Amino acid sequence: MQISFTKMQGAGNDFVVLDETRGPLGLSAAQYRWLADRHFGVGADQILSVRPAPQAMAGQVDFEYVIHNADGGEVEQCGNGARCFARYVFDKGLTRQSRLRVLTKAGVITPQLQPDGRVTVNMGRPRLAPQEVPFDSVGLTAQRVGRADVWQLPLQGVAGLDAVQVTVLSMGNPHAVQRVDDVASAPVQQVGAAIERHAAFPQRVNAGFVQVLARDRIALRVFERGAGETLACGTGACAAVVAGILWDALDSRVDVVTRGGVLTIEWSADPACDVLMTGPAETVFEGTVCIPELSD
């Protein structure tokens, strides 16, 4: 199947963007995996599909945004992708609005294009209850740090660790966030992979590693569910700042330094309040590719 695509990146988290406004391409999980493959396909952390608003929500939302991880699995939310989504539909002339209502599996988000080229997205409120993540806490113990539960997550001797201490929350997708002294030397590959597939997370999880640099600045690395470590994770940055504020370690506006760039996250510390994320969104190149017939 010959298709056109646009390659984009937001703080180094990279995407293949597909225009499905004239109808779905009907790709299989194996074909999403092929598109994401950095050797046999195009290469990306996630595949983003731009679809029209569902008929049932005409007038309530402007577009539907569907996300697949590099492993081919569909997921609820992607923050860096949301900024690229907004940049894409505006630059392609699919909208003349600079503020959009975008339907995702996790609900409606509202990206806003900024005059300086960055994009601000209202990512909705954080979900803190274990069952909303989902996180199976049966048999696990937690201690309170500030206003957060910090769970003792047993590991079978991974990287010489018997356990890690994580705060667990959802930004529509699941996150387990731990504080480390130095992100550069943190065992992200080994420990991140063990957390991603830990039995306490029935739908797996994104594993964040946070170093607090100041009350308004953190460094962050994320081992993403279905993609491995990425240069940046937008929902991971939101989750890390929410956790840090609940730990009483951060103020309400935080610059998140990732390996691919800086994101700015704002949250007022009220669980009923939405999280705002601001960051870059860039088009890298346009292309066409012939996707092989691959079934799951």
Ligand X SMILES: N[C@H](CCC[C@H](N)C(=O)O)C(=O)O
> What residues are designated binding site for substrate?
13, 46, 69, 79-80, 173, 206, 224-225, 234-235
Is residue 279 at the binding interface for ligand X, with CB under 6 A as the rule? no
Is residue 235 at the binding interface for ligand X, with CB under 6 A as the rule? yes
Which of 128, 227, 221 minimizes the C-alpha distance to 178? 221
Question: Which of 80, 104, 167, 178 touches ligand X by CB under 6 A?
Answer: 80
Is residue 64 at the binding interface for ligand X, with CB under 6 A as the rule? no
Is residue 224 at the binding interface for ligand X, with CB under 6 A as the rule? yes
Looking at the Cβ atoms of 103 and 156, the one nearer to ligand X is: 103
**Distance (Å, whole) CA 241 – CA 269:** 10
Question: Which of 72, 130, 192, 234 touches ligand X by CB under 6 A?
Answer: 234
**Distance (Å, whole) CA 228 – CA 248:** 29
The angle at the Cα of 29, spanning 22 to 82, to the nearest 5 degrees, equals 60
Is residue 122 at the binding interface for ligand X, with CB under 6 A as the rule? no
Question: Which of 153, 168, 218, 233 touches ligand X by CB under 6 A?
Answer: 233
Is residue 173 at the binding interface for ligand X, with CB under 6 A as the rule? yes
Q: How many residues in the shown chain lie near ligand X by CB under 6 A? A: 19
Peptide bond into 52 cis (omega under 30): no
Stretch that binds ligand X, among 86-94, 101-109, 227-235, 283-291 (CB under 6 A): 227-235
Question: Which of 36, 50, 78, 291 touches ligand X by CB under 6 A?
Answer: 78
Active site residue 233: yes
Question: Which of 69, 122, 211, 278 touches ligand X by CB under 6 A?
Answer: 69
Q: Where are the alpha helices (DSSP H) in 110-215?
A: 188-196
Structure tokens at 43: 């290469």
Stretch that binds ligand X, among 213-221, 226-234, 260-268, 283-291 (CB under 6 A): 226-234
Q: Do 77 and 173 meet the contact criterion of CB atoms below 8 Å apart?
A: yes
Is residue 170 at the binding interface for ligand X, with CB under 6 A as the rule? no
Is residue 240 at the binding interface for ligand X, with CB under 6 A as the rule? no
Looking at the Cβ atoms of 178 and 235, the one nearer to ligand X is: 235
**Distance (Å, whole) CA 36 – CA 200:** 28
Q: Do 119 and 282 meet the contact criterion of CB atoms below 8 Å apart?
A: no
- Read out DSSP for 238-283? HHHHHHHHHTT---SEEEEEETTEEEEEE--S-TTSPPEEEE--EE
**Distance (Å, whole) CA 182 – CA 160:** 17
- The SS3 of residue 188 is helix
Active site residue 238: no
Q: Which residues would be at the binding site for ligand X (CB under 6 A)?
A: 13, 45-46, 69, 75, 78-81, 173, 206, 224-227, 230, 233-235
Residues catalogued as catalytic: 78, 233
